[in-house]
Chains A and B, each alone.
Chain A
Amino acid sequence: MTEPVLRISGITKSFGALRASEDVTLDLCAGEIHALIGPNGAGKSTLIAQIAGALAPDSGTIKLEGRDVTAQSTVARARAGLARTFQISSLAMEDTVLQNAMLGALGARQGRLGLFGSVMRDTGLRETARAALDEVGLGEFAGFRVGDLSHGQRRQLEVAVALTLKPRVLLMDEPMAGLGAEGTAQMVPMLQRLKHTAPILLIEHDMDAVFQLADRISVLVYGQIIATDAPDAIRTDPRVREAYLGDDLGEDAV
């Protein structure tokens, strides 16, 4: 097996007596979608926050392409190639779709931000932004204000901004949330394609989508990973079934 692109080893995080992450070990290899599932309150959000750099773990390490980024800020990790999408769309709502995508392209450039030159006339940035928008099917909405987009289109834009960053790793926090059947049907093939651009660590509640997409699945329960395996094996794993008893997965698996 090749060296994983993202390797999380022994992450532990406590809030008082609550152990939100307990010795979490997880990796993500090139070309794969690794889904992280777990019931509500399992500690998924806490784990994502630590991977993205918003929260510092109590112990453990996070390595991105072999480099230890545990002590690095969100900004530094983004610059190292960790691109994330947010569970709740996190965009500049007053700006246009194109401007949001260009912001990503600007960040990816990692240079000084010009104070005087017109950013909208920067053809390099525009092209990067345009290509990402086309990739997610938002090309014709470039001139729209984000505030005027539908929920589904905002989810697509989140992905487009992540793409402009030339990511080494995509960290996707519930990209299907609130999308409905039609939106999900669009998003699934898109993620299928994107995993060849950068491997995806996918946090998702939609089990149909997860089992369709994932190459591997890890199950997080009470802050601990109880199983990491191929979808078929996860489906029949008795511990997972116990954790999900009565949940969607239980019914699917039967």
Chain B
Amino acid sequence: MRREAIFNTALWLGLLAYPVWAWLGDEPYQITLATRVAILALAGVGLNIALGLGGLVSLGHAMFFGIGGYAAGILASHAQSYTPLYDGAFTIEGTQNMLVIWLVAVVAAGLVALVTGALSLRTSGVYFIMITLAFGQMFYYFTISWPAYGGEDGLSIYVRNWFPGLNTLDPLTFFLICFSILSLALLLSWRIAGSAFGLALNAARQNEDRVRAVGIEPYRLRLVAFVISGAITGLAGALYADLNRFVSPTMFSWQLSGEIMVFVILGGVARLFGPVAGAALFILLEEVLGGVSDYWHIWLGVLLLIVVLFARGGLIGLIAGQGTGQATGQRKRAGGADD
């Protein structure tokens, strides 16, 4: 377990050091790449709470990512055009304040997760995958056909949204914002994994009859996990919109749901830093292989096959060892502190 902690620390430091190094060398594109890693890792951290801890194979997480993105896009577009979002009995103005946008993104994604989760968690296995996929596609086609916010063309954010006291236009500053949020989400995810809730959720993934027999309802645990998971992925979507200064229906596409899942699987399902390792590896491959061939996805596919067949713990499992499987904080303490 020590090895995993060392690897996690190295990964965290590496992700922080790389853009600083790029900034010193005046390579803004590299900073943008690191920012993408941080944001996509954040989306993966969200999914990992449902997938890794809860065993919920959601193929609809692009839905939350897209909701977060559109929360940023819609609020910003109203602020840019000085038209209120709603003007009736009271007025809701658009805003370019990131703090407000994040709050809206988290709440909106969390609410949608609550409703879609309440329905889809009544099923399990392949039906759960299909239902979450269907919900995601509903949002995808809805945004395509909704002309008010750009329809298929999406929405542009002309000037990146602002954060009180910081210059978000500076790539390194924006990276640090994203990196801080990622770090907070990792901390949150670590605390959840080691909490009473995490213990019960994790047990429900392994054996739901056992959990019922001790008087705990797995459905409720999963719903809470799904909401937290969706909210975090939603926040990632809002940041992604600000990174690209653009949102479009592709944020809702099922391919994106698949990609988020790929980050988690590549890095290691249920590993705290799995999504970070996975997203970093993905972007690295995209850059390196993408430069060599347009068909780099083939090689990504091969890699994914190898991971699924031979390295179930993903990259982190390969480096830090497979033995203990579920690498959460609680296991560390259970094994170590007790004997």
Are the C-beta atoms of B192 and A115 separated by less than 8 Å?
Answer: yes
Chain B CB within 8 A of A98 CB:
yes
Partner of B334, one of A78, A91, A98: A98
CB-nearest residue of chain A to B334: A96
Q: Which of A48-104 contact B (CB under 8 A)?
A: 52, 73-76, 78-79, 83-84, 86, 90-96, 98-100, 102-104
Chain B CB within 8 A of A42 CB:
no
Are the C-beta atoms of A118 and B194 separated by less than 8 Å?
Answer: yes
Partner of B215, one of A79, A98, A114, A125: A79
One of B28-36, B82-90, B198-206, B261-269 contacting the partner: B198-206
Cα A102 to Cα B338 in complex, Å, equals: 13
Chain A CB within 8 A of B122 CB:
no
Cα A113 to Cα B195 in complex, Å, equals: 8
Cα A121 to Cα B221 in complex, Å, equals: 21
| Residue among B207, B215, B329 facing the most chain A CB atoms (10 A cut-off) | B215
Chain A CB within 8 A of B170 CB:
no
Q: What number of B residues sit within 8 Å (CB to CB) of A?
A: 37
Are the C-beta atoms of A107 and B216 separated by less than 8 Å?
Answer: yes
A74 nearest CB across to chain B (Å)? 5
Partner of A117, one of B196, B209, B216, B221: B196
CB-nearest residue of chain A to B205: A92
Using Cβ atoms and an 8 Å threshold, which residues of chain A touch B333?
A: 118, 120-121
Are the C-beta atoms of B215 and A110 separated by less than 8 Å?
Answer: yes
Are the C-beta atoms of A93 and B206 separated by less than 8 Å?
Answer: yes
Q: Could you give, for residues 142-163 of chain B, a 1 whenever the CB lies within 8 Å of some chain A CB and a 0 otherwise? A: 0000000000000000000000
Partner of B216, one of A90, A106, A122: A106
Given A96-B334, A110-B215, A113-B221, is A103 in contact with B195 using a C-beta cutoff of 8 Å?
Answer: no
Chain A CB within 8 A of B297 CB:
no
Are the C-beta atoms of A115 and B191 separated by less than 8 Å?
Answer: yes
Chain B CB within 8 A of A108 CB:
yes
Given A75-B216, A143-B339, A165-B215, is A120 in contact with B207 using a C-beta cutoff of 8 Å?
Answer: no
A108 nearest CB across to chain B (Å)? 7
Cα A93 to Cα B330 in complex, Å, equals: 15
Chain B CB within 8 A of A15 CB:
no
Are the C-beta atoms of B195 and A116 separated by less than 8 Å?
Answer: yes
Using Cβ atoms and an 8 Å threshold, which residues of chain A touch B212?
A: 73-75, 78
Minimum-distance CB pairs A-B, first 6: A107-B214, A78-B215, A92-B203, A79-B215, A107-B215, A113-B197
- A selection of 6 A-B contacts at a CB cut-off of 8 Å is A79-B215, A91-B210, A95-B331, A98-B338, A99-B203, A143-B335
9 additional A-B pairs beyond A78-B212, A114-B197, beta carbons within 8 Å, are: A76-B215, A98-B334, A107-B200, A108-B214, A118-B194, A119-B195, A143-B334, A145-B324, A164-B214
* Chain A interface residues (CB < 8 Å from chain B): 52, 73-76, 78-79, 83-84, 86, 90-96, 98-100, 102-104, 106-108, 110, 113-122, 125, 142-143, 145, 161, 164-165
